[in-house]
Amino acid sequence: MMPGGPHSMETLHHAGGIPAVFRQIKKYLENCQTVSGMDTNSIANAVTYVNEEVIRPTDSPVHASGGLMILAGTLAPNGAVVKSGAVQDEMWKHTGPARVFDGETDAMKAILERQITEGDVVIIRYEGPKGGPGMPEMLSPTSALVGLGYSRVALVTDGRFSGGTRGPCIGHVSPEAAAGGPIAFVKDGDSISIDLYDKTIKLNVSPDELEKRKAGWKPLQKTLTSVLSRYAASVGPADLGAVLLQK
């Protein structure tokens, strides 16, 4: 689907919609009741039309990979998410220097002022569930990179992305910076390796060096009051759903 492919959501609807998707992947689905009151098999079996140019059969996929992928590694021990279907093939494997920003505002300023170089890996941290707080969407930086013509810049964040994101944009990095995850200890110039074939994202810094950085680390302090303060103190990590934890 757009922007990772040529088809709009309206095209999907006219091609048979989500019931047609159910039919195409029926053998992979557990038959369970949906909010409609019907179970998944019943919905799939009731389909009478599927445009297979839009909703492809499983034996004729658009790409070897699915639309989403979970990465893990020394930068994201508990995982990260990438919309792999919207990453150009030449960026499936990339190593570059980190450009680190403690928040979206500073990153946007650097991007718009063209302080970013092709090959860089832009790190936007302290935008996770606790650090945001609330895990804000990082669509503006990615849109700015595309709009300014960058093609070989990766973006990594403990924040989130929308469905409109395209390119090598990796979000939901966990543990997040505010919780003391490795993304908090990245410095400008550190080597970052992204490999979608191997499903890894690595911070190429020795464990001893990371321990030294961690020893002197203090989380970024934001002035929070009322509900946001209570939320930041109670919210869990992105890899567990960013739900409130009972104390």
Tell me: do 134 and 30 sit in the same domain: no
Query: Which of the four pLDDT bands, split at 50, 70 and 90, describes residue 183?
Result: very high
Tell me: do 56 and 111 sit in the same domain: no
Q: Is residue 227 part of a domain?
A: no
**Domain extent at residue 80:** 69-215
Q: Is residue 245 part of a domain?
A: no
Taking residues 39-51, report their average pLDDT.
96
Q: Is residue 239 part of a domain?
A: no
Question: What pLDDT score does 236 carry?
Answer: 93
Tell me: do 56 and 106 sit in the same domain: no
Tell me: do 89 and 58 sit in the same domain: no
Choose the catalytic residue: 8, 151, 162, 229.
Answer: 162
Tell me: do 2 and 94 sit in the same domain: no
Among 82, 80, 122, residue whose Cα is nearest residue 103: 122
Question: What pLDDT score does 139 carry?
Answer: 87
Domain count, the chain: 2
| Contact predicate 194/94, CB 8 Å | yes
Tell me: do 118 and 147 sit in the same domain: yes
68 pLDDT above the threshold of 70: yes
Q: Judge whether 206 counts as a catalytic residue.
A: no
Tell me: do 81 and 7 sit in the same domain: no
Question: What pLDDT score does 78 carry?
Answer: 97
Question: What pLDDT score does 247 carry?
Answer: 61
**Count of CA atoms in the C-beta half-sphere (13 A) of 114:** 4
Ordered strands of the 169-171 beta sheet: 69-71, 80-82, 169-171, 154-157, 121-124, 93-101, 191-195, 200-203
